[in-house]
Amino acid sequence: MPRRDRLTVNDVHGAWAIIPTPAVDNAEDWRCEDSIDYDEVAKAVDGLIVGGVDAIMAQGTFGEGATITWEEKKKMMSVMVETARGRKPIFVGVTTLNTRDTIKQLKHARDIGADGTMLGLPMWQVCDVPNAVRFYRDVAEAVPEMAICVYANPEAFKFQFPTPFWAGVAEIPQVITCKYIHIGQLSIHTAVTKKRIRFLPIEFDHLDAARIDPEFHTAFWSPCANGGPEMTIRIRDTVKEAVKTGDWSTALRVWGAAAPVMGHLMPPGGFPEFSRYNIQLDKARINASGWMKAGPCRPPYLTAPANYLEGAVKAGKGWAELCAKVRAGEL
């Protein structure tokens, strides 16, 4: 059943975990007609909720939203919603190549009880600011019951998400949060939106964002909880405690342990180069962690340079070791 009350910016706090779309063993083959491992979807959603995350998002980039069919996506949405049972918000991906298909998919997500969408821009033609803002306004008008998390990935959507864009979408009540890549302009964007959008920096920037504005920057997106939620929750809780007490030493120690481990994931060339192989590297990382079975990639995004994949595997195994230390009380 659709939720009665749309989520607001005041509902956005803590760790917002993103999951991949688990794949069956023959998903690499274009002949595979139903490539999703739905049991693993349910296991991951339940495991993250029990593990303490505050919301779950899916079907973005390493969620392979562009390479799963609509029939597969519908079934996965249902499994996520049914597994969550209202315990935590579920935001699904409905990014398509046009506004009408996106609206169709979001209406379905609403009707089965999802809470919102992590929504990127159509990817074929580069949008200017007026068209980008209009896109989100049209979607919000068509499906006003659903909250929107802007998926602000400049490499994926060929759009830089400049300050005028944030000023424009801040006027749309359904836009309550955003998956945010860099925090260099976080203060500017927070000011121009008048705090009507709670930005979600990546978990490794959460500490710095919280120090910028402890009362407002209370949430982050996590690409790593799918490798084990313990370390993600530790990051969340130590930052929260530091804000409360003013003692940042433990939060800095935890951050200092996590940052170099995940540094293995980033290939030479930084984020633009990583974005060329995002799916392949993140799935290699998640599989190596052993917490969930992400499975193989779907065509056409199947291969990546061997040294990039080696780094991803190191990141996944290293994250699993950090989670083990948290469980043992060593971190």
Walk me through the domains of the chain, giving residue ranges and CATH numbers.
Answer: 9-244 (3.20.20.70)
Q: Is 179 a catalytic residue?
A: yes
Q: 2 pLDDT band (50/70/90 cuts)?
A: low
Residues 6 or more apart whose Cβ sits within 8 Å of residue 32:
24, 26
Q: 5 pLDDT band (50/70/90 cuts)?
A: confident
Candidate list 73, 179, 283, 314, residue with the active-site label = 179
Q: Enter the tokens of residue 217.
A: 């920057």
Question: Mean of the pLDDT values across residues 247-260?
Answer: 97
- CA dist 75 and 65 (Å) reads 13
Q: What is the largest CA-CA distance in the chain?
A: 56
Instruction: Quote the pLDDT of residue 197.
Output: 98
Instruction: Give the count of alpha carbons within 13 A of 192, CB side only.
Output: 14
- Rounded to two decimals, the pTM is 0.96
Is the per-residue pLDDT at 132 higher than 70?
A: yes
Question: Mean of the pLDDT values across residues 117-145?
Answer: 97
